[in-house]
Structure 1
């Protein structure tokens, strides 16, 4: 379908608003000290931080990958999000109190205090590698989706534009710009997802008809298999969700940086509770959207019919179909994907640049308290790397979800063991922790490499959906 001026207007307004926020905090309300630039002087407000945390977890993978995963493999995948209940309890009663009691602004400072410097350096190295590995993948996923919708605009041109805008406002405004653009982008994502879901339901007929068709297809079948080699079961989805989101929020510096920017522990707990409410509402809409797509395509599976050749394109194809009768919906979808990409990239670039400056550069530069130039330069260079690495991501012979989840599993398993043992096992000393990290990392890396080697031999079958064949 051809994009209309209304579609482009919606996208440009969302991008322009983000730039305006960056310009405001970069020139008219700019940070006076590096502490203000990196942490907002620890005087941020609860609601913006909560919304920013929601935006940080609603990334392009959530928007594009999760609905397609549920469409292909069923609603069992949604059990990832149920684990968030336990994650919130862990954050409120264990992780946040320890960070505030020890005046921690960088989660790696805790590792150095609890164990030693070499353990901290090892984990921080993993943080940098992971950050500069998965941010380009997130960026490329969103650019690829936009390229599918625009039908003709080069994916690397889109990637360059999105990354340049993101780096611009992140570099200019620091944490304040990141948080307030996250607030804006979260509202855009929320209403875009809600709008697409609503239009999809009206095309099907009604909510009752939607869920009836999806149920007939088999989308609600839950996999309770105890076999750990099964792709999606309620057990491995739930447990991996608890581990993943605990690490993504509690041990991920981009989130920790925002949580500790609040003045008191009470404010941080409020922010986490509000984040939980907003996150559950948003991912519920994502899951319902997957159900709506299944009902919409009940008479013809676009994957089996050859209309599309990758499951990641299902949502984009769905939006194209809806745009026949609804003007502006492609623009809403594009704005949603762009905002998901911007919120994820900006938070990570800000975190990476500030951590590099604070821990690797600032100790060697005297009287650098008011120097905001260096983290801005690092943010700029990170953006250049991000644009260039998009070409590498395109060459990789793997799906986007595989690349991200593999790297996340490798690093976050090490994170989780180190932090949780540090919290709960006071007798473990630094040497034992460092050696166990090295051994554990090698073992898990071996398991992942072996899994990737055999991945081509083992094909996970989608759920047995009973689509009709009226294509």
Structure 2
């Protein structure tokens, strides 16, 4: 960890100033904006926001704050192959617009998993899907909370526990005050700020390196810009095939089946506005996604011949971006604080949005069905959800302490998302696209999808396999004057790069006998494919079990199936179980009828 040997007054002033501005958004929403009187006000917002604001909020929510630090370090130490996952993200947007949104936009639901209850008339399927979402977000928010703590440790020297506890506490307060409106506008503020900071890094780095072409040449010459790797081997950590396929399925699960995004869709005025927002979001996501990778290119070109990680100035690869800002922008008072505040506030607003969704799903899909929770007034429902949010904020704080066990925030976030996204996406595809699917098939499918995915992921942790390698790094130009005078190397660092500290040439020993075992191959499959595997298992098993167990009681409303499926499968009988014109005014208990 680097240490700053200068007056931090400007940095602290900028940091706390930006944090206060973000918190003031929540305070304004609470005391000066439209009042939150009911659960719906908290979940969907009390006022309508513009398409532009919603676009930035969706883009920031999709990328997450982890991309700000994770993408530059990924390019620096492993290359740009993961950059190609943008293709999967872009393919997901039109699919969500034309497959997912038309089905449940006008259903009048608070929880997206309420749709599964309506479709399958099964509380079990609904609870399994809700539980999957809760599990995923618990794990993923640990990454989100931990990400800015890496930078705060690098720049300010704060221990992880101080940063994590502070961020969790502010998130809880922010969540009580603001609700969805504050989270959306905070997303907008942080998106604009991060774009500005990224552009500043790219422009300044281009000036230092005498042009951006020099940056491109340095990255290309050292293997950082190797694209279009179509190696079919599924055990390779990331290739073009796995990046596109894996990210497509993950993005479909996030954008199409995640409560926090569906809340944003349902807060808009019309389905047409949702479609326009998502499609207009494509160029926004390209810019925001690519900026972080361009930042990584700049940092590598600057440190091409003196890697701070190898030379002992940082102890974690994810510290490379905050280290660069500290090293190269020390002449500009306040920029470090602005950078830190952007990371902090980005994690803050994203955490508020997710806690909002977690609390809503927990109340709607679990607690609301309990005898003691029936008949609550709107204001009582509102405060019940906020109390649940406080509890979740504390739990997520604990999850953040576990993230450091994985190799980088991108590795952690992609692994967590891959493991939990497949079965969730699969059960929604069953519900929307396969008319024959019933509750028994959906239940068996999602359970087996989870078991197989977790089995593979667990096996991947216990087998001996080649260690994840870094691209070659150099320290031939390193000396005590290469970096800024305001930073110094760790006191406990010993000269020389050891295999224990950085192992881009060494690998763990592998038993050749194990490599012949079919299970070894299965456990060696890249985590990028976990979502595909989980989705495929859920859909296949779900459809097969549904076909075997089908009976005349498997009734559903044809409006709960995608319209295109009914046009293609017109030979099936259309059975209506209730009037869709009044569906939006009906409570779930009125249409719930277990088989």
Judge same fold: TM > 0.5, yes or no. Answer: yes
Larger Cα-atom Rg: 2
- 3-state secondary structure, aligned to 1:69: helix
CA separation in 2, counterparts of 1:441 and 1:381?
26
Q: Does 1:109 align with 2:114?
A: yes
Pick one of 438, 462, 467 that aligns with 1:453. 462
Give the structure-2-normalised TM-score: 0.74
| Deviating more after overlay: 170-179 vs 296-305 | 296-305
Contact 1:55 1:343 (8 Å CA) reproduced = no
| Deviating more after overlay: 437-446 vs 201-210 | 201-210
Q: Matches of residues 333-372 of structure 1 in structure 2 within 5 Å?
A: 333-363=339-369, 364-371=373-380, 372=382
Contact 1:362 1:368 (8 Å CA) reproduced = no
Partner of 1:87: 92
Contact 2:427 2:442 (8 Å CA) reproduced = yes
Q: Matches of residues 54-453 of structure 1 in structure 2 within 5 Å?
A: 54-115=59-120, 116-151=122-157, 153-222=158-227, 223-363=229-369, 364-371=373-380, 372-393=382-403, 396=405, 399-453=408-462
Q: Following TM superposition, by how much is the alpha carbon of 1:448 offset from its aligned partner in structure 2, in angstroms?
A: 0.6
- 3-state secondary structure, aligned to 1:144: helix
Q: 1:283 and 1:400, CA in 2 relative to 1: closer, same or farther beyond 3 A?
A: closer
Contact 2:111 2:259 (8 Å CA) reproduced = yes
Q: Gapped runs of 5+ residues in structure 2?
A: 479-595
Q: Following TM superposition, by how much is the alpha carbon of 1:324 offset from its aligned partner in structure 2, in angstroms?
A: 3.6
Q: 1:324 and 1:18, CA in 2 relative to 1: closer, same or farther beyond 3 A?
A: closer
Q: 1:92 and 1:391, CA in 2 relative to 1: closer, same or farther beyond 3 A?
A: closer
CA separation in 2, counterparts of 1:12 and 1:79?
36
Q: Following TM superposition, by how much is the alpha carbon of 1:158 offset from its aligned partner in structure 2, in angstroms?
A: 1.9
State the aligned residue count. 467
Q: Following TM superposition, by how much is the alpha carbon of 1:385 offset from its aligned partner in structure 2, in angstroms?
A: 2.6
CA separation in 1, counterparts of 2:475 and 2:376?
71
CA separation in 2, counterparts of 1:219 and 1:388?
35
Cα RMSD over matched residues? 2.1
Q: Could you give the per-residue CA deviations for residues 287-341 of structure 1, whole angstroms, max 9, x where no partner exists?
A: 1111111111112223333333321111122222212443333223212211221
Q: Following TM superposition, by how much is the alpha carbon of 1:431 offset from its aligned partner in structure 2, in angstroms?
A: 0.7
Q: 1:51 and 1:22, CA in 2 relative to 1: closer, same or farther beyond 3 A?
A: same
Q: Could you give the per-residue CA deviations for residues 89-130 of structure 1, whole angstroms, max 9, x where no partner exists?
A: 101111111122434442201111222221111111122222
Q: Could you give the per-residue CA deviations for residues 42-89 of structure 1, whole angstroms, max 9, x where no partner exists?
A: 844322222211221232320111111111111111011122221111
| Deviating more after overlay: 419-428 vs 325-334 | 325-334
Q: Following TM superposition, by how much is the alpha carbon of 1:274 offset from its aligned partner in structure 2, in angstroms?
A: 2.9
CA separation in 2, counterparts of 1:34 and 1:416?
27
Q: Following TM superposition, by how much is the alpha carbon of 1:351 offset from its aligned partner in structure 2, in angstroms?
A: 0.7
Contact 1:88 1:276 (8 Å CA) reproduced = yes
Pick one of 466, 474, 477 that aligns with 1:470. 477
Q: Following TM superposition, by how much is the alpha carbon of 1:164 offset from its aligned partner in structure 2, in angstroms?
A: 1.9
Q: Could you give the per-residue CA deviations for residues 175-222 of structure 1, whole angstroms, max 9, x where no partner exists?
A: 111111222122122212222222222222221222122222221122
Q: 1:55 and 1:420, CA in 2 relative to 1: closer, same or farther beyond 3 A?
A: same
Structure with the largest fraction of helix? 1
CA separation in 2, counterparts of 1:24 and 1:54?
24
CA separation in 2, counterparts of 1:397 and 1:243?
22
Q: Could you give the per-residue CA deviations for residues 153-174 of structure 1, whole angstroms, max 9, x where no partner exists?
A: 2222222222222221221121
CA separation in 2, counterparts of 1:230 and 1:390?
28
Q: Could you give the per-residue CA deviations for residues 232-269 of structure 1, whole angstroms, max 9, x where no partner exists?
A: 21110111111111112111111111111101001111
Give the structure-1-normalised TM-score: 0.93
